[in-house]
Structure 1
Amino acid sequence: MKQSQQSNKLRFDGQVFFIGIDVHKKSWTITIRLNGMQLKTFTMEPNAKQLQKFLKKNYQGGHYFSVYEAGFSGYWLHHQLTELGIKNIVVSPGDVPISNKEKSYKDDAIDSRKLARELENNSLKAIFVPTPKQSATRQISRLYALQSNENKKIRLRIKSFLNYLGVEIPFEVGSRWSNRLINWLEKLELKNEGDRYYLDQLIKNMKAKRKELLATLKLIRKNYADHQVIKRLRTIPGIGLITAFTYYAEIMDIRRFDNENKLASYVGLIPSLKSSGNRTRVRGLNHRQNKLLKFRIIESAWVAIKNDPALTSSYVSYIKRMPKQKAIIKIARKLLNRMRSVWINQKEYQIGRMI
């Protein structure tokens, strides 16, 4: 009797199911489509194994394709779904086609239906999903950037406080944040006990943040300074360890960008265009960008123009017809092209190349 029940159970061998997942911390809203039909929309607990169990129970023998939008939840769900045999992609929310009605009326069910529909229509472009190991490397890069930014903020608070008190740093002490400057701050005599206490707390905080930053830098040097890609990138004038490491951590696979324009667009070093009829208007830099990588490349461009004759010549030529800020963006773009070339060709950079 049991064998008879199993043989009579509906099967969907060879059928392709498209699944849109609207992801939230406490629940998922799921839409399932087959052959242009919306079969079911429902809410479930956020559990990949439970979803697989539901699909196999109700649509046994089918091929399952799923999609969700990149967001707070990262990529762990993608890896779990893939391991469970569900072919998943992750998409950028801004790249999902949306109707006027969906713009006006937005809820979880509508979002999951939209994802399932566009997945079936083959109109979605998957973003690059790093492996867990690659993701961990990227987190180190972003931690260093966060710690560096916090360090700068504390230094600015100290300088602002000194300005508030009318205290100037002596020339012989110097404005760079050396041990000499820190020792001077610690011995600085202030009239009010409250001011002294406030400055001491800022200094204490700065020392702690500085220690954290140096520990992360030590980790980067230990684990990545001898990486072949990073070593080659550092042969380019202006590219130091942190810029090379950030570039490697954020990109991971340089061949996912077919050409220089796609890489520049990802970084945010390409202008946005607005076309209407026969007119095309060039606007500012595209707002879609990798802010951290863009900052590092532009920062390195200022160094590169002082150390590479080819870039020095280009920069001098640019500033004759445009502001310095626009000129440095063009230099940054050239620098980015060099980095791409070095990575793809797996060769050290030759100074003076006109890329």
Structure 2
Amino acid sequence: MSIIKVLGIDLGKSSFHVIGRDTSGQSILRKKYTRPKLIQFIANLPPCLIAFEACGGAHWLARRCQFFGHDVRLIPPQYVKPYVKGNKNDFIDAAAIAEACGRPEMRFVPPKSEAAQVQAVCHRLRESFITERTASMSRIGAILLEFGLALPTGHSAMKKLFQWLASQSSVELPKMLLLELQVAHDHYLLLNEKITVQDQKIKQAVKQDERCQLLKTIPGIGDITASQLVMEVGTGQQFKHGRNMAAWLGLVPRQYSTGGKTKLLGISKRGNKKLRCLLVHGARSVLSRLDRGEGPFHEWLKKLRASKPFNVALIALANKLARIAWAVLTSMQPFNAVKLHPSLQG
């Protein structure tokens, strides 16, 4: 009987479609499993290469497969699509995954640890609370606008909502409306408390993580950015050098070249949008202190700002921060301004 060398799995919530191939690339297994049956099958399978798309539930399954001694490859879904032949169904998708994982230049996603996934949940809840809080503020403002009052923007005004309403003698609001506003305002205050709790959880996790503490030595990187970097990038070993990580984050120009003519456009904005946003905000905080003559990038940024617009300098600095973060993660050494390239030191 032929031995399975490559196993392609199309993931689902409760059903999993599997294609197994031998050393010659011939399909010798084509079967559908439930979740418990799949785990049982993988546990009894001799060590082989198992591949599936990096989607919901993939990292948990990757850890289970590694526990049973298998070599696991997680493939970004957009890299699997070119290998889908004919019409789409689950078995064709599994075959495409098995085909894609054998390509010599295929890019893979490293499986996340359980701690990284827990931290991701913490970040995701925090972001959802912030989004809900913004919606709550907009809702209260829209309600008051319907009754002829324009509430000032910002959290300071929202926290003192009823003091502000008491000062508006020109408009008298119905008592029932004030009761409804109290319900909405209490919800806003509750969300503030929940966001504070999530922030404390993240800060506590950062204090206990050596990599986060090393990342915080980089100018412009705080608790949230450091935690997000460790959660998404890990050790950074999946990138050959810092430029690859900056390109993965979409902080390099998008290229559209043909006929030997190189044409560079705006940044590609690929990869993790949240992490890219945090690095850009970190770069913005560094640029905001440029007039004070502070920081290791001062002279370089000063020369750059003399010839480039603010946003161009901003992205250039975010790119540098991403590269430095990669160097810190891979070397496990704190940021040292003395070791910067002379061009960055001015």
Give a deviation string over 1:17-46, Cα, whole Å, max 9, x none: 211111111211111111121223222222
Q: 1:85 aligns with which of 69, 77, 92?
A: 69
Q: Which moved more, 1:27-36 or 1:326-335?
A: 326-335
Indicate the residue corresponding to 1:330 in structure 2. Answer: 316
1:303 matches 2:291:
no
1:309–1:352 CA contact under 8 A, matched in 2 = no
Change in 2 beyond 3 A, CA 1:49/1:345: closer
- Shift of residue 221 of structure 1? 2.5
Indicate the residue corresponding to 2:326 in structure 1. Answer: 340
1:50 matches 2:40:
yes
Total equivalences in the alignment: 332
Aligned mates of 1:266, 1:327 — CA distance in 2:
19
Show the 5 A alignment for 1:132-151. 132-151=114-133
Name the % identity: 19
Provide structure 1 residue ranges, at least 5 long, that are not aligned to the other structure.
Answer: 1-9, 57-61
Change in 2 beyond 3 A, CA 1:224/1:162: same
1:33 matches 2:17:
no
Give the partner amino acid of 1:241.
D
1:257 matches 2:245:
no
Aligned mates of 2:87, 2:81 — CA distance in 1:
15
- Shift of residue 257 of structure 1? 2.1
Aligned mates of 2:124, 2:133 — CA distance in 1:
14
Aligned mates of 1:112, 1:65 — CA distance in 2:
14
Provide structure 2 residue ranges, at least 5 long, that are not aligned to the other structure.
Answer: none
Aligned mates of 2:133, 2:339 — CA distance in 1:
35
1:67 matches 2:51:
yes
- Shift of residue 309 of structure 1? 4.5
Indicate the residue corresponding to 2:89 in structure 1. Answer: 107
2:211–2:332 CA contact under 8 A, matched in 1 = no
Aligned mates of 1:297, 1:185 — CA distance in 2:
37
Indicate the residue corresponding to 1:192 in structure 2. Answer: 174
Change in 2 beyond 3 A, CA 1:317/1:192: farther
1:211 matches 2:193:
yes
- Shift of residue 314 of structure 1? 4.3
Change in 2 beyond 3 A, CA 1:262/1:188: farther
2:73–2:101 CA contact under 8 A, matched in 1 = no
Looking at CA atoms only, which structure, 1 or 2, has the larger radius of gyration? Answer: 1
Across the aligned residues of Structure 1 and Structure 2, the Cα RMSD in angstroms comes to: 3.1
Q: Secondary structure at the match of 2:72?
A: strand
Q: Secondary structure at the match of 2:219?
A: coil
1:241 matches 2:229:
no
Change in 2 beyond 3 A, CA 1:176/1:238: farther
Change in 2 beyond 3 A, CA 1:39/1:16: closer
Change in 2 beyond 3 A, CA 1:268/1:168: same
1:169–1:175 CA contact under 8 A, matched in 2 = no
1:227 matches 2:227:
no
Q: Secondary structure at the match of 1:19?
A: strand
1:22–1:30 CA contact under 8 A, matched in 2 = yes
Give the partner amino acid of 2:163.
W
